[in-house]
Structure 1
Amino acid sequence: MSPSDDTQARVIAALSGASVRRVTTGQTILDGIDWSVRSGEHWALLGANGAGKTTILRLVGALMFPTAGTVEVLGHRLGTVDVRELRAAIGLVSSAQKVPVDLPGHTVVLTGATGTVQPLWKKYDEATRERAHALLTELDCKELADRPYGVCSGGQRARLLIARALMADPSLLLLDEPFNALDLPSREDLIDTMHELALNRPELATVTVTHHLEELSPAIGHAVLLRDGRVQAKGPVADVLTDAGMTACFGRPIEVTRHEGRWLARSGRR
């Protein structure tokens, strides 16, 4: 039974009429978004540049507030809760995260326990250090424990950042273009990692922002298509990732195929 079929699956995040407008220019970034994520669900956010994907991720990550509507995360409505405590219970992975290049992999993961850029050594007891080692093993990168972050490949860095995000044992993991600039082998390794993570952590909910269907692991069961700050389509991937849906979202003819749980999108002639 999938999480969406389970009536006991709890709502992890919910947006109701959520809009974001830039005060200085009046520009609408998001317009009346209604969307929810339940425990164990794995969502993809897709759309062209400027569609509003990262803004939704920032709302769900309690990094910003809507200018209209409501956002609830982990049972708390933004604006009525200390967002610093809320953020500590949310895992965030972004290729834009700043990590000191001289830190070894184990230390990078350790900093996830304190949510800091630099390690706070007095905060890490033996159990915390062991947890970091266990996560390196789970993410199949234990060989990176002593390797400086700066000499790790893009794929290795991505796995370290995911391990770091899992240090707080979050209910929600947000991934903002985690495949950015990865070569093909690194991309496939990371897709395998995300698939295994979903299998090993059935209660964890994830939301992945990406531009490419090829980057979706077989674990992704739901998708949102965004265009110009509005939801074009949302729901199970089989209903959303269609030729017609992708064509309407991206504004040019797109053909979608699926093989053994993996997706491929190709653009035809106009």
Structure 2
Amino acid sequence: MKKTESNNLLNLHGIKFYRSGTPILDGIDFQINSGEHWVLLGRNGAGKTTLVNLIYGSVWPTAGRINLFGETFGETPLQILRNKIGILDSSQQESALQKSLTVYDVLLTGFFHTIGFYRESNAWEEKEAERILEENGFGAKRNQLFRTLSSGEKKKILFLRAMCTSPEFVILDEPCSGLDLTAREEFIDFLDEYKKNRNFTSIYITHRIDEIPPFYEHAALLKSGKILFSGEIKEAFSSARLSDLYDRKVEAENRNGTWVAVTERK
């Protein structure tokens, strides 16, 4: 394995991605340091999901280089890198999960880095799954079918599933999609409480600034496959930058840790 000289956890260098000759990502340079929490903010179709798929190794860049955990993609077996990543992508995970899985089963699959059961669990994994459910208020729902949970509960279990192996890097891809206001706020509170006693690095992908947990302090703005800005979240959320990102006048306010976007109606 060839290690990079950088101490950054993630480095994207000159990333380009074309689909059928159309540029989806065009010249992405971006980096995340260990222990940082980043928001990737962009409108629908900006290229956010493609960028996530590149970071996870689901697709390969047309041009450019990806370094993760000091290793260069293409020079290190991807599974070695994926084993250090936790991912919550409910749009794909919920539909792919086997319908007969209980809450306990779904959490247990996180130790396998698979969506379903493809091997026997061991005693340590089973004990850990029990502990995680109990510590996070889901002990009583252990044997309930996952598909019968509320939307908010499903998101929480999928997050715990992503975190069960204590990954070094966590990807949260549109985690609040499909949640009503109450469920969304409960999920964000759940993330914020979970973070208080744990150290990890993460990237949170969204198109709404009011869905961002309060502990996120960095942001990258993605528009039409290009990074408009990356840096401190307060700088990213200036009126000029957000107005450019959304193509309309936007003012951002932080109200007790919650970002709020104020727009002018036409």
Say whether the 8 Å CA contact 2:7–2:70 is kept in structure 1.
no
> Which position in structure 2 is the counterpart of 1:145?
142
> Which position in structure 1 is the counterpart of 2:213?
217
Matches within 5 A, 1:232-243: 232-243=228-239
**What SS does the aligned partner of 2:110 have?**
helix
**Residues 28, 263 of structure 1: alpha-carbon distance in 2 compared, 3 angstrom cutoff:** same
> Which position in structure 1 is the counterpart of 2:160?
163
How far is 1:117 from its partner?
Answer: 2.6
> Which position in structure 1 is the counterpart of 2:3?
none
| Greater than 4 Å deviation, 4+ residue runs | none
Say whether the 8 Å CA contact 1:11–1:75 is kept in structure 2.
yes
**Residues 101, 232 of structure 1: alpha-carbon distance in 2 compared, 3 angstrom cutoff:** same
Residue of 104, 108, 111 corresponding to 2:109: 111
Aligned amino acid, residue 60 of structure 2: F
Say whether the 8 Å CA contact 2:173–2:206 is kept in structure 1.
yes
> Which position in structure 2 is the counterpart of 1:6?
none
**Residues 76, 138 of structure 1: alpha-carbon distance in 2 compared, 3 angstrom cutoff:** farther
Residue of 47, 54, 72 corresponding to 2:49: 54
Aligned amino acid, residue 210 of structure 2: E
How far is 1:120 from its partner?
Answer: 4.2
1:70 equivalenced with 2:92 (yes/no): no
CA deviation profile, 1:123-159 (whole Å, cap 9, x unmatched): x222211211222244443333111011001111111
Count how many residue pairs are aligned between Structure 1 and Structure 2.
258
> Which position in structure 2 is the counterpart of 1:247?
243
Aligned amino acid, residue 268 of structure 1: E
How far is 1:247 from its partner?
Answer: 0.2
Partners in 1 of 2:30 and 2:122 — Cα distance? 39
1:226 equivalenced with 2:222 (yes/no): yes
Say whether the 8 Å CA contact 1:111–1:117 is kept in structure 2.
yes
> Which position in structure 2 is the counterpart of 1:178?
175
Between 192-201 and 88-97, the greater mean CA deviation after superposition? 192-201
RMSD: 1.6
**Residues 227, 138 of structure 1: alpha-carbon distance in 2 compared, 3 angstrom cutoff:** farther
Structure 2: runs of 5+ lacking an equivalent: 1-5
Partners in 2 of 1:247 and 1:259 — Cα distance? 19
1:18 equivalenced with 2:15 (yes/no): yes
Normalising by structure 2, report the TM-score: 0.92
How far is 1:28 from its partner?
Answer: 0.6
Normalising by structure 1, report the TM-score: 0.91
Residue of 123, 126, 143 corresponding to 2:123: 126
Partners in 2 of 1:118 and 1:226 — Cα distance? 33
**What SS does the aligned partner of 1:32 have?**
strand
